[in-house]
Amino acid sequence: MDGHRDPLSARAWRAVTYGVPLAFLAIFFLYPLAAIFERGLLSGGESSALDVVTDPVMRDVVWFTVWQAVASTALTIAVALPATYVLGRFAFPGRSVVRAVVTVPFVLPTVVVALAFLAILPESLERGWVAILVAHAFFNVAVVVRVVGTFWANLDPRVSEAAATLGAAPSRRFLEITIPLLAPALAAAAAIVFLFSFTSFGIVLILGGPQYATLEAEIYNQAVRIFDLRAAAVLSLVQLACVALAVWVTTRLEARLAVRGQLRAERDVLRKPRTLGEKAVVLGSIGALALFLGLPLAVLVERSFAVGEGHGLEAYRALARPTAALLATPWEAVVNSIVYAGAATVIAVIVGGLAAFAVAGSGRGSRGTRLLDGALMLPLGASAVMLGFGFVIAFDRAPIDFRSAPWIVPVVQALVAIPFVVRIVAPTLRAIDERQREAAAMLGASPGRVRREIDLPIVTRALAIAAGFAFAISLGEFGATVFLARPDRPTLPVAIFRFLGRPGELNAAQAYALAVVLMAVTAVSVFLVERIRGRRAGWF
Amino acid sequence: MLHVEGVTVRFNGNAALDGVTLDIGDGEVVTVLGPSGSGKSTLLRVIAGLQHPDSGRVLLDGEDLASVPPHRRGIGLVFQDHALFHHRDVAGNVAFGLRMRGDSKNEVEGRVRELLDLVGLTGFERRSVATLSGGEQQRVALARALAPEPRVLLLDEPLGSLDRRLRDRLLEDLEKLFDELGVTALYVTHDQAEAFALGDRVAVMRAGRVVQTGTPDELWAHPEDEDVARFLGLGNVRDGAIVRPEAVRVAAAADGQPADGVVEAAVRHGPTVRLRVRLASGERLDAAVASLDHPGPGDPVTVTIDPEGIIELQ
């Protein structure tokens, strides 16, 4: 029995849970960020920071970034609302399958989504703002359906019924009861979609053509194509400021909109569609969403088999052969991707898991906790491209040179995934009844033993789900990886992007084929997550 | 005034309501008494228009409500756990129905104040409903339902979620309120005391059917059958008759005297003690005795029954 002696005292555990994540963030986030600041504001160059900001081209970039994010958010909500309503109000066969399947586009790599719309859109719309908005809606529909749909399914229908008995017609009930009660969820979903659209990179880079660039895409253009690191650094700072502002506004908005109480168990809320009209609404909404989400992916698969006039496996066979597009065979890119993503998952789960213990452990609302919580969310706002760019300018000489350190790719991917890991694990830890720990302690368990016997088993499931998400995110990570992956060790998204940059039907077909492979690997990991998650409600 | 006729509702093939017929006169308060799952709430939902009956109809002042949606029925409903609008303050909740019928801003304000006075929540206008106690929330729900002057007020176990003392107080308030306003109301409860205190008439429901309707006195004197008698807690039901516990006299059997039975349990209910006696036949009989000096569990006793306390069932 080690009931009285524990190798790790409570204080040491605290030091580890705070220390490891903070050290990781300091080295791999704050240091690159500082490098960007230094490059953008201090070190000399042919242009000053002010020149970059006042350049009319840059102003156009900022303007486009903002309006496309707003429009994408509106379009996403509009597209998602019918299915959200159906999932929030009706019980029907296959409901949980719909909920699961709708998540697939969200975890699909942006590169795959972009390719799917290249495949399906008519040539005139293939590149431009329409394609960008539609792709963003495709990508983000899951956020609205799941965040708002879950909330809706827990909204007491009797509140609306009470309004009916007081003389409110259905349209007024929707406007005066349902919408205000859904507001917190709608605001939260809109905020997430806005942020994702604002920092969208892969989709804009591929579908935007030369005309349309968001800040993210422009950072990449300046850094990689034009090689104006000063401009890229300044744009990164502009992006960071915009994201911080957006986060600040939405947090305040959400706090003001928060409504307490009145949530009910899903099974008390959902009911079977009764009338023919209701059945038509259910079928129509889900069918339309299935078409919107399924068709681009189906066409993507079809295009990967297209050879000349007919169909065949030519593009897939070519994956094993060397190509002019890469310094490796495409098949090696598949292997690289899986290895990198696996390593990134390990890092993200360890660092993110420890951080979750720190965030959840020291009582909510304490200053240190809030600080760490916020610090961990920063990489999310800082955006992948900025991280990649920061790594390139920060780690370009010994002791860490990104050119000779292949582990840098998993590290940056883990950095992107960590906020998700914390968001998944911390709520589970917080939900553990303190009395369980107290009961264990009363029965003679030391603090370390309590963690092992009570916290760990409960949190294992959450960690497994987090690992699945981290894997899917790392697998599709493009914005940061495209800066850091060495030409002879490309990942799948990078390889797809390289193929797209080259002319010829076989290159295009190979891009599609690789996208299909990437989609398949991602889908498998998501379905494993869904199986672990089971029927539990909740977004993460 | 309100006429419910042969209403049947089935959920997954099971009848939640099975041919319910009920009449409520103008200004009358009818309570529906039944155990949980007897279909009481479903009945209210059908009348309010929130649940479509599979058959039967609901008439209000002679008008068939089948094609009238809930928001045009003019029927108020107080929900079991209030279903208040948490995104509006107290005044906003009470004002809702008034705004729906198009009252002017001044009218709304005046009426809201009037209603809050009526339920004893003067000055609560700007309070958030989330900060109110259970009893206060209940009053807001009542005021909200009464505000637009519904033709019929339906109440679904409105006191169900409150503790005993609060319930007794609100019960008195409700009695007074119903009297003063002369409202026509249908009040659903599983609590016999509530049903008898509030109802001009009481409808007893069981398994989706109304098994008996009558004034509290009528029910007390002539329960329809053994089940009703048992549910109303009227006493011992044996051989088609009810024996009131007060009419059962129990005395300790003297030494050597043959005992009629043995006391199984003795439980104090306020001023009386309820003795459960197992007779020699194996039958059990409840007796209410006032004495402090009563036989205890295990004591052999003699039992006599006052014929006045025996009610023959039809």
**Mean pLDDT across A350-371:** 75
Indicate yes or no: CB of A169 within 8 angstroms of CB of B71: yes
Same domain (yes/no): A396, A274: no
Structure tokens at B153: 């007020």
Residue of A163, A167, A183 with shortest CB distance to B101: A167
Closest residue, chain B, to A171 (C-alpha): B71
Tens of pLDDT along B184-234? Answer: 999 999 988 889 989 999 999 988 999 999 999 888 888 888 888 878 777
Element (H, E) at A399: none
To the nearest whole number, what is the mean pLDDT of chain A? 84
Q: State the smallest CA–CA distance between residue A261 and chain B in angstroms.
A: 8
Q: Which residues from B are below 8 Å from A when comparing CB atoms?
A: 48-50, 52, 69-77, 79, 83-87, 96-97, 100-101, 130, 144-145, 147-148, 150
Q: Examine residue A400 and state whether it is found in any structural domain, yes or no.
A: yes
Q: State the smallest CA–CA distance between residue A364 and chain B in angstroms.
A: 22
**Mean pLDDT across A5-22:** 75
pLDDT for residue B214: 92
Domain boundary, last residue among A254, A282, A306: A306
Domain boundary, last residue among B184, B199, B227: B227
Same domain (yes/no): A241, A326: no
Q: Examine residue A539 and state whether it is found in any structural domain, yes or no.
A: no
Same domain (yes/no): A177, A206: yes
> Which range of residues forms the domain containing residue B306?
236-312
> What is the DSSP code (8-state) at residue B254?
P
Query: Of B106, B142, B134, B137, whose CA–CA distance to B124 is shortest?
Result: B137
Structure tokens at A425: 């694990």
Which residues of chain B neighbour A261 with C-beta distances below 8 Å? 86, 130
**Mean pLDDT across A510-519:** 90
* Higher-pLDDT residue of A48, A389: A389
Same domain (yes/no): B121, B144: yes
**Mean pLDDT across A354-367:** 72
Q: Identify whether the C-beta of residue B127 lies closer than 8 Å to the C-beta of residue B140.
A: no
Closest residue, chain B, to A170 (C-alpha): B71
Same domain (yes/no): A223, A254: yes
Same domain (yes/no): A218, A365: no
Query: A143: exposed, middle or buried (C-beta count within 10 Å: 0-12, 13-18, 19+)?
Result: buried
Say which CATH number the domain at B190 has: 3.40.50.300
Q: Examine residue A249 and state whether it is found in any structural domain, yes or no.
A: yes
pLDDT for residue A540: 39
Same domain (yes/no): A14, A99: no
Quick one: what percent of chain B has pLDDT higher than 90?
42
What's the 3-state SS for A440-481? HHHCCCCHHHHHHHHHHHHHHHHHHHHHHHHHHHHHHCCCCH
* Weakest mean pLDDT among A444-453, A470-479, B117-126, B130-139: A444-453
Same domain (yes/no): A206, A351: no
pLDDT for residue A2: 42
Residue of A158, A161, A259 with shortest CB distance to B86: A259
Domain boundary, last residue among B176, B197, B227: B227
Same domain (yes/no): A280, A386: no
pLDDT for residue A381: 62
Query: Of B158, B166, B177, B184, whose CA–CA distance to B115 is shortest?
Result: B177
pLDDT at B259 over 80: yes
DSSP reduced 3-state for B255: coil
* Weakest mean pLDDT among A234-238, A252-256, B41-45: A252-256
Say which CATH number the domain at B252 has: 2.40.50.140
Q: State the smallest CA–CA distance between residue B172 and chain A in angstroms.
A: 25
Which residues of chain A neighbour B86 with C-beta distances below 8 Å? 159, 181, 259-262
The structure tokens 């760019």 sit at A389
To the nearest whole number, what is the mean pLDDT of chain B? 88
Which residues of chain B neighbour A177 with C-beta distances below 8 Å? 85
Q: State the smallest CA–CA distance between residue B9 and chain A in angstroms.
A: 13
Q: State the smallest CA–CA distance between residue A262 and chain B in angstroms.
A: 8
Same domain (yes/no): B156, B215: yes
> What is the DSSP code (8-state) at residue A271?
B
Same domain (yes/no): A175, A268: yes
The band of A4, judged by pLDDT with boundaries at 50, 70 and 90, is very low
Same domain (yes/no): A155, A195: yes
Work out how many domains chain B is built from and give that number: 2
Closest residue, chain A, to B46 (C-alpha): A165
The band of A536, judged by pLDDT with boundaries at 50, 70 and 90, is very low
The band of A288, judged by pLDDT with boundaries at 50, 70 and 90, is very high
**Mean pLDDT across A146-169:** 89
Closest residue, chain B, to A180 (C-alpha): B87
Q: Examine residue A61 and state whether it is found in any structural domain, yes or no.
A: yes
pLDDT at A365 over 60: no
Same domain (yes/no): B265, B148: no
Domain boundary, last residue among A306, A338, A364: A306
> Which range of residues forms the domain containing residue A485?
9-34+316-534
Tens of pLDDT along A260-277? Answer: 556 777 777 888 888 888
Same domain (yes/no): A29, A106: no
Q: Examine residue A39 and state whether it is found in any structural domain, yes or no.
A: no
Using DSSP bridges, classify how beta strands B29-33 and B201-206 pair: parallel, antiparallel or unpaired. parallel
pLDDT at A444 over 80: no
Residue of A165, A176, A262 with shortest CB distance to B70: A165
Same domain (yes/no): B301, B169: no
Structure tokens at B248: 């059962």
Q: Examine residue A481 and state whether it is found in any structural domain, yes or no.
A: yes
Same domain (yes/no): B217, B292: no
Q: Identify whether the C-beta of residue B153 lies closer than 8 Å to the C-beta of residue B44.
A: no
Domain boundary, last residue among B186, B205, B227: B227
Residue of B76, B84, B101 with shortest CB distance to A165: B76
**Mean pLDDT across A485-505:** 87
CA-to-CA separations, B144 to A162, A446, B92, B162, in angstroms, rounded? 10, 55, 9, 19
Q: State the smallest CA–CA distance between residue A277 and chain B in angstroms.
A: 15
For chain A, how far is it from start to end, CA to CA, in angstroms? 37
Tens of pLDDT along A309-329? Answer: 778 888 888 888 887 777 888
Same domain (yes/no): A29, A55: no
**Mean pLDDT across A236-259:** 78
Beta-strand ranges (E) seen in B239-282 are 241-243, 248-252, 261-269, 272-279
The band of A8, judged by pLDDT with boundaries at 50, 70 and 90, is low
pLDDT at B75 over 90: yes
Q: Identify whether the C-beta of residue B133 lies closer than 8 Å to the C-beta of residue B161.
A: no
Same domain (yes/no): B79, B31: yes
Which residues of chain A neighbour B97 with C-beta distances below 8 Å? 166-167
Same domain (yes/no): B104, B152: yes
Same domain (yes/no): B213, B265: no
Residue of B86, B140, B149 to mutate when probing chain A, most A C-beta within 10 A: B86
Same domain (yes/no): B176, B243: no
Q: State the smallest CA–CA distance between residue A184 and chain B in angstroms.
A: 11
Indicate yes or no: CB of A165 within 8 angstroms of CB of B100: no
Same domain (yes/no): B121, B95: yes
**Mean pLDDT across A113-142:** 89
Closest residue, chain A, to B94 (C-alpha): A166
**Phi–psi pair at B4, nearest 5 degrees:** -105, 130
Residue of B50, B52, B96 with shortest CB distance to A161: B50
B185 beta partners:
B29, B153
Say which CATH number the domain at A426 has: 1.10.3720.10
pLDDT at A3 over 50: no
ipTM surpassing 0.90: no
Indicate yes or no: CB of A167 within 8 angstroms of CB of B72: yes
Q: State the smallest CA–CA distance between residue A428 and chain B in angstroms.
A: 26
The band of A409, judged by pLDDT with boundaries at 50, 70 and 90, is very high
The band of B110, judged by pLDDT with boundaries at 50, 70 and 90, is very high
Distance CA A294, CA A138 (A): 10
Closest residue, chain B, to A275 (C-alpha): B52
Same domain (yes/no): B87, B163: yes
Residue of A162, A168, A181 with shortest CB distance to B79: A162
Which residues of chain B neighbour A156 with C-beta distances below 8 Å? 83
Cβ neighbour number for residue B37 with a 10 Å cutoff: 13
Which residues of chain B neighbour A176 with C-beta distances below 8 Å? 96
* Weakest mean pLDDT among A80-94, A280-294, B83-97, B277-291: B277-291
Q: Examine residue A353 and state whether it is found in any structural domain, yes or no.
A: yes
Indicate yes or no: CB of B76 within 8 angstroms of CB of A259: no
pTM over 0.90: no
pLDDT at A535 over 60: no
pLDDT for residue A539: 41
Work out how many domains chain A is built from and give that number: 2
**Mean pLDDT across A479-489:** 89
Instruction: Tell me the H-state helices in chain B.
Output: 40-48, 90-100, 105-118, 134-146, 164-181, 192-198, 216-221, 226-231
Distance CA A425, CA A189 (A): 20
**Mean pLDDT across A19-32:** 89
Residue of B50, B84, B150 with shortest CB distance to A164: B50
pLDDT for residue A260: 55
Tens of pLDDT along A51-60? Answer: 777 788 888 8
Q: State the smallest CA–CA distance between residue B110 and chain A in angstroms.
A: 18
Same domain (yes/no): B220, B286: no
**Mean pLDDT across A165-193:** 90
Distance CA A447, CA B228 (A): 59
Element (H, E) at A48: none
Q: Examine residue A1 and state whether it is found in any structural domain, yes or no.
A: no
pLDDT for residue A138: 94
Domain boundary, last residue among A306, A329, A348: A306
CA-to-CA separations, A58 to A51, A65, A238, in angstroms, rounded? 10, 10, 10
